[in-house]
Amino acid sequence: MKRRKIAYIGASFKFVHQSVRDFLLFGGMDDTDLALYDIDPETLRIERDVIRRMIRQRKGGLTVTACKSRRQALEGADYVVVSVLVGGMGVAEREDQICQAHGIRHTVGDTVGPMCTARCLRMVPLLLDIAADMERFCPGAPMLSVTNPMAVLTNAVNRRTRIRCIGICHGTHFRQQQIAEAYGKKPIPDMEKFSSEHLHDIIFGLEGRFGDRIQRELHLNVTNGRAVPNLPADANLELTCHCGADGCRPVDNAPLPPFLLGILTPLVCANLLSEKAAAERDFAAFQEALTLDPLVSDFRSIPKLAKALWDVNVPYRKPAK
């Protein structure tokens, strides 16, 4: 029986070994070979050693290999998990300083706000470069991305390549739990059974291992289509999906009421402009995305803000292999 190959591009301390932990705890993944790749050899070595120890302690049948190139990791992969960051936290700190100089404050800045729009400039080219390699070395594999800004990156891959990209926001169900508790509501049934990333649920679903009658609902970042009929069809949204052998399909929703539509439409359009700005190096689209951002209250500051954020990202446009 053919073994499953999962390539991890980016040996993230936060995500990779946590997903392997879930494979070992939930079971059913012993026929899996893990191929890790990172441009930092020390990070790669540490993550490989941690995973080897986990497999040994659980007496699992998984294998793990630290690859010397992205190509080695991708060749023949059945799934590709992407967890990467371009420029480290140093670039994000510089962007934060620029934004604060213009009176703009963020909490994190990797999902919304001008820092997010700027981050797209260095992250979109890398995701598209990885997708281009996937088209050569594993064209049938889906890209499972845990990388932010998730909506923009997933959208870029789905719109501009032949690779199917699914965004996995691994903290979604914890936030649902917190909101339920804050409002005195019952937690979502069986939520404690979900893994921290539900990566294995996606894999099991895509392989049809839940059976035709069992559909696991997962919250994923996917192309809208007609799931939310009054938002753009080509936008990527965080939606409830059913994953099966025919893919991860979003559940149909009623049209958004005017209030929610008014909140979300500018954000969706800003994401589409951010993707265009990053993929096509379109400075005008970058300024337009910032103009739609609710954190930018002084429109007169946009030209200087845009120029400063744009210039910070120029050295990071070319993807590292």
Look over the chain and give the mean of its residue pLDDT values, rounded to a whole number: 90
Please give the C-alpha separations between residue 111 and each of 20, 117, 150, 199, 237, in angstroms, as whole numbers. Answer: 25, 8, 7, 21, 12
Do 40 and 70 contact (CB within 8 A), yes or no?
no
Selected catalytic residue, list 106, 170, 198, 219 = 170
Kindly list the averaged pLDDT for each block of 10 residues, start to end, along the chain of length 321.
Answer: 93 83 90 96 95 94 96 98 93 95 89 94 97 98 95 96 91 68 70 57 86 70 95 93 88 96 94 97 98 93 97 92 75
Question: Is the omega angle on the peptide bond into residue 114 within 30 degrees of 0, that is, cis?
Answer: no
Q: Name residues whose C-beta falls within 8 Å of residue 52's C-beta, 6 or more positions apart in sequence.
A: 64
Tokens of 113: 């706000």
Domain chopping of the chain, boundaries: 78-250
Give the pLDDT confidence score for residue 109 in this predicted structure: 81
Give the pLDDT confidence score for residue 251 in this predicted structure: 93
51-54-56-59 Cα dihedral, nearest 10 degrees: -120
Q: Could you report the per-residue pLDDT of 180-194, keeping only the tens digit for each?
A: 788 887 765 554 444
**Cα–Cα dist 62/81, whole Å:** 16
Task: Assess whether 242 carries a catalytic annotation.
Answer: no
Q: What is the CATH number of domain 78-250?
A: 3.40.50
Please give the C-alpha separations between residue 99 and each of 149, 197, 221, in angstroms, as whole numbers. Answer: 17, 31, 27
What burial class does residue 31 get, using C-beta atoms within 10 Å of its C-beta: 0-12 exposed, 13-18 middle, 19+ buried? exposed
pTM of the model as a whole: 0.92
Give the pLDDT confidence score for residue 138 in this predicted structure: 98
E-strand stretches of 217-284: 217-223, 236-244, 247-250
Q: Could you report the per-residue pLDDT of 101-121, keeping only the tens digit for each?
A: 999 999 888 888 999 999 999
